[in-house]
Amino acid sequence: MGENDIDLSKVDEVLRKYTKEEASLIPVLQEAQSLFGYLPQEALVRISEGLNVALSRVYGVVTFYAQFYLTRRGRHTVRVCRGTACHVRGGKSVLDTAKDFLGVNDGETTPDFNFSLETVACLGTCCPQGARDPRSIRRQKGRLRWRDYCRRRILISFGSPS
């Protein structure tokens, strides 16, 4: 089996666990994405046929919800906040630094598939008490310590895409 070949028997196993109706669409899509890290077209066609749901409806659901990806993602996802509080504290420069360092734009993945870069509305780490997540990229003494965090591999990373 080639690197780009998709094992549709795995999708068939997922489909057997659910009723053959549209109400099962989102959980089936979630499980299929957990298998491949994204939703390949071949899997969407099989899901459409297996649940007897129009392919256009399947694509409609996949493109509506931000949790689903139609392209292969990086092993790690770097998320940069674009919320108001972070914008005021220099969020744009953090995003620009991430883009420059990784060599990709928002929504893209590095050619080696190690990192995907995306912006989000809020990471929830800027409140006064702060959610002290050691994996988050923080500003220290007014400047981003991006390279230090990359060396230590404690990026905003949540493992394999879900």
Kindly give the confidence (pLDDT) of every residue in the chain, 162 residues in length, as a single tens digit, with 9 standing for 90 and above. 444 678 999 999 999 999 888 899 999 999 999 999 899 999 999 999 999 999 999 999 999 998 999 999 888 888 888 888 777 777 788 888 889 889 999 999 999 998 999 888 876 665 443 333 444 444 444 444 444 444 333 334 333 343
- Return d(Cα 103, Cα 152) in angstroms, integer: 19
Long-range contacts of 46-50 (CB under 8 A, 24+ apart): 46/8, 46/11, 46/12, 46/15, 47/11, 47/15, 50/11, 50/12, 50/15, 50/20
Distances (CA, A) of 77 to 19, 38, 39, 108, 139: 33, 13, 16, 10, 19
3-class state of residue 78 by DSSP: strand
Does 137 lie in the same domain as 100? yes
- Total number of domains constituting the chain: 2
pTM to 2 decimal places = 0.66
Domain assignment of residue 112, given as a range: 76-152
Does 80 lie in the same domain as 148? yes
* pLDDT at residue number 62: 97
**Structural domain ending residue among the three candidates 44, 64, 84:** 64
